[in-house]
A and B are shown apart, each in its own frame.
Chain A
Amino acid sequence: MRLINIKHVLLGASLILLSSCAKQLDINLSPNTATTVTPDLLFNYGITAWSANRTGGDSYIPFALSTQNQASGGNYGWGKGNVYDISPFSTGNTWRGYYATSGNNFVLAIKSAETATPVNNNAAAQCKILLANMIFECTTIWGDVPYSEAWTSTISYPKFDQQKDVFTSLIKLLDLASAQIDISSQLKISNYDIVFKGDMVKWKKFAASLKFKILMTMVDKDPTAATEIAALLTAGGMVDNATNDVLYPYTTESGKENPKFKILKQYAGGANIFFFANNNVFKYMAPLNDPRIPVYYQMGATATTFIPVETEDEADDNTATININTLFKPDAPDVIYTYQEQLFFEAEAYARGIGVAKDLAKADLLYKKGISEAMRYYGVDGTIYLGLLPSLTSAVDPVQEIHKQQWIDLIDRPFEAFLQWRRSGPEGSEFPTLVQPAGTPAGGFLRRWDYPQSAEIIPNINAPKTAIPFTTKLWFDL
């Protein structure tokens, strides 16, 4: 090895190193991510993350136990505790879904659809409708929430809109979405639309039904909502058959099962040892031997009849569990809106005369049709049961009969059950009449969640800083 060569090599190497400097530094574009994507990919992420929250441990379980439509079985089952003590993780994760994980992706998808050439109006509408549903959930959990200033890159601290204004804005958003829908256009989210596969007729009906649901939530506090309710009932165009049910499907494939089943799969050896029949639902089903009982529940290991338990009481081997072969099966869908839900709302509108003339006969027809659809949904024959039910025209409290069916129907939809209980009557007259679960602090029922502190309240200078007790009613709740 001659010296001169070494010297040249050293010199040459250092020159190459120095000259390639700039090239070696221009390597900061991520090979792992994309700079642009189509709305359908964001839509699917948004809806999947949203449904996962609705059906998982952050939402489904706390709502089911605190609303008391399912029971924990105490330490025999899920564990005893204060069911009003909602973990800051759950409140934070749920909020995060509404605004960031799902919400922002819907907003980004809308932007992507509306700035595309040509504009993909249907895709924008599909995202708007889901966004409206999500924010409707959000405001009925927390009340005043950011909306008008949310998802705006120029606003660092979105203000909290009053619940009434949020409802109004969501109705506007749904109107916009509905107007934007172009049924004849092939530009839409179709394959990636896990709900309707791009059937824009169904999306339009869902938009109308969701608007109806929002109005039915508002109307007790704001009677002027009745006008729009009347308009909707007259115009129709809402969900009018079971094929229009809004369901997010899960499968039996490992990793893609319904999250509530996965809890049992992972922590209970694939059996339901955690969640039990709550007497607050069961006692309304038992008298007429509701055919949904064996669908909803399984008998306790040593029992010969279905035996419910009170919220937070200790279950035992005789206690009936929530049925793992139906409600908690791996491929049970996430139920977002159903035809029976629509029928019960309509029945309620006619029974109460909201915007329309009070018409108990019409209400009874809708109510019976609703029950029949509910039975069909769960695969049972409701003929005998329907035969035993009195007509609403002769019922002492026809509205309460409707609320009873709504309550029973919402067994697997704890969020909706919580909303339904609060809107079913003024304080003290809700249906059903509940007692505070054992272990909860004296002072009243849970009516809202605490705002998530670290995710929103602390970093947002425009957020309400005074803690609101969870027993305080929201605007819509009389």
Chain B
Amino acid sequence: MMGDKSNFGDVLVVGAGISGIQAALDLANSGYKVYLVEKSPTVGGHMAQLDKTFPTNDCSMCIESPKFIECDRHPNIEILTYTEVESVEGQKGDFEITLIKKPRYIKEELCTGCTTCTEYCPVQVPDPFNQKLSSNKAIHIYFSQAVPLVPYIDDNCLFIKDKKCSICASVCPNNAVDLNQKPEKVVIKVGAIVMSPGYGAFDPGPRGDYGYGAYENVVTSLDFERLLCSTGPHEGEILRPSDKRHPHKIAWIHCVGSRQVLAGGNNFCSAVCCSYIQKQVILAKDHDPDAEAFIFHNDIRSYGKDFERFYKRAADLPGVHFIRSYVSVGVEDPDTKNVTIRYATDNEGVKEEEFDLVVLGVGLAPPNKAGDLANRFGIELNAHGFCKTNPQNPMETTRPGIFVSGAFQGPMDIPESVVSASGTNAQIGALLKNRRGKLSKERIYPPERDASGEEAKVGVFVCHCGANIGRIVNVPSVVDYAKSLPNVVHAEEGLFICSTDAAQEIANTIRDKGLNRVVVAACTPRTHEPLFRDTLREGGINQYFYDMANIREHCSWVHSKQKEEATNKAKDLVRMSVARARLLEPLEEFDLTVNKKTLVIGGGIAGMVAALSLADQGYEVHLVEKNPELGGMARRIKTTLEGMDVQEYLDELIDKVYRHPLVQVSHGAIIRDATGFVGNFVTTVESEGRTKTIHHGAVIIATGAEEYKPVEYLYGQDSRVLTQLEVEERIEREDDELLGSRAVVMIQCVGSRQEDRNYCSRVCCSQAIKNALDLKKKRPEMDVYILFRDMRTYGFKEDYYRKASEQGVRFVRFEPSGKPEVEPAEDEEGKPVLRVTVPDPILGQRLALDADHVILSTGVVPTADTLKISRQFKLTLNPDGFFQEAHVKLRPVDFAAEGIFLCGTAHYPKHISEAISQAYGAAGRAVTLLSHDTVTATGAVCDVNEDACVSCGACISVCAYGAISFHETESGRKATVNSILCKGCGVCNSVCPTSAISLKHYTDEEIFAQIDAASEERGAHE
């Protein structure tokens, strides 16, 4: 956090959920000073409450919490939690914002997070983090990874209610409790604002949906997340509320509060529930393989990347039943508290079934008091109560200078929230171009002492962590023991070594005692190693001279009933760390210069938007397009479902690209060769007969996708069979033949959601609805049928699905096992028609429809050159042939290879607005690199001892980063490591027959020393 109290910054980010966190980090890493304001006591938002995330089932907290710490330690981010925005005055470039800091009754700067107060607090309150399914104390830290790691006091506190108790204040060892704190007004000035207030989960309470509130064993999906989670109310055991027993038969009900035109419900689709329910089913089955799961659903909307496989995975589990039916909840059994559900079946009529637990798939709603929020910020909301945005720029609100990211734009999942957050960085980068780097600062460290030749002088610091370690482990005896170890010249204990002043103390001790190795015995290096490495730099020695003995997570907390053994183990762990520390070598993190130019591959909408965004921020761009002209797939799209004129937009965009002095375009371009690495790529491009060598620092892959060319349903054989794109073109040119049709039949999922293309193409349902509405508009009397499997009009697109239904478009569902058949025939009048027959699952018979045209909703497939480009830039493809991002949730537009970014349909099929959003996202991510003159690479990389290398190539064969290659030396061919490409995993070490290749910081010697030390008897040095 920032030390100075100046109230002048660049950007205010409102809401510190995953979207706000990402926005803050990207902005701060791009040279802006950011205020990150959050109304709850900690950063984290809804994502922190989730157990896992679909479709990878990654642990939600584990992937999110490192970002908390990153924000906390960032010199350009000031976090203000428990704070709300009161008013926003001024205009873009010059806003004045009044914040109200609510009293948390803790002096944050004094609190060490020791939780002694919580221990002594006599008041139990329902724990909001655990959805009130368990209790906590009135004074408590919101959750254990909270940032700031400081408690707050709930309104149920006896002192706050009637000034009765103040135990917390008296037991606090640091006098950090201040029960007389009052709300505090803070005024700050910034140039731009990002709103990322997230969403409000639909509350089934007021209507009592499906017995919620009345029946104990009816819970919401968010409640269920907490039940699943190991930090939840029952430590990860799924126990139902009524009797804390394991439920064996669980029902999930879809669309609770979503897709409803009823009072109290939301008429849009919440976009995420289908997949999160599948996740919950998979996890529930993980917990209890014998559990029976019934999922009552409407359309299954698995429209995202890898969602279809995820759906299949859930559906194929034994004992899992996906049932397409509306349901009503009947009674609760007064004895067992089981809940009965009535539902309809295809062949058995209405059935009743009793469940141990019912989970309501609640939808996403606008954030709480969104109207009030909008008033305070002076922005408008859309008809659904979410933020009103510009379809050509989904991050723009109605007030210039205020941008929006995350679910306040509308229902969306985590990656989309992250993408839009990075996108706001790109927007603000253009708006505040001239302010970049003015307020931001780099940390300044004292010069580093060269200790490489010195004998090891180890300092050991053993932490009590309040009572967390000290109550179990005898810390003074560990300190004494440490002093007996070889090369240890100093050992001391501390109450909280991570507190700012204790860290400063270590830095002083390093200097005073001339330490050249430091071991901290405390908590986990995964959270605290960066802090202590920083401390070593403050102390003037190389940061790699540091090791950490984890005597909390791996000792006191897991052996809490065995004090003596835990103390002995702590000594062992310290001995192991010291043994390792003695051998540690100073490593150089090296700076690589960054070429500020970006190569954007692909001149469709995504590529052009990304290129323009970078250029608007002042960075040079080389845009290469394989076709003779710009525009890509969008050239064939006339309007979007929402009515945006795509051609007009495209013309303007192309015009801007050609006019922009910083954008250079190559047409008809073929990439011949690509080499280099982050900050320093060299790409050879052949374009219109000339070969150019482009030096650039970043790459944006926006190579797009293609329309699947169908082979089914007589396409190509009968001219009356068309694709949706062809229909769109014909509607545009008022083609009489098409518009004269008495009836048309559209068939969905052509080439999608099947064995060889096991994904949903995402856009075809909306495309069908769009064309159906257009046809109906032009010829209201035309019969339009849509044969579908699941209508996937997610989010606000649901409005148009409903509209189509209202306008008489007829929807007929089919199963993949009973696909429609198309054959030429004659109707009753003897006119030639195309006869479409399909088994109707509801009527149970074969339906025959006569049509003048059959329209195929064909899928989206990767472009032919995707594979070639993936090889040239060493990128990974997913099983469907689309580019694979670094992390599906939190690095959605990054590649694992640094300096390369991704956007548009090259990533996965998507709508134009989504591609635009992603393009800004990619540009925003690229700027976090381009805004720096240099990029730092870790020193813990591999190195080859050429004398020992036998040039067998084993290391080269296992390095997927391509970091190792052969080079010629005087003694023959030897392996050599490109330190910039090496990521430091060390797999090459374990396959090297002669141990010639060695991962610095994890060398064999260091590992052996640790293993040897582990086996030594304690007292060997005493």
State whether these chains interact: no
A residues with a Cβ closer than 8 A to B are none
B residues with a Cβ closer than 8 A to A are none
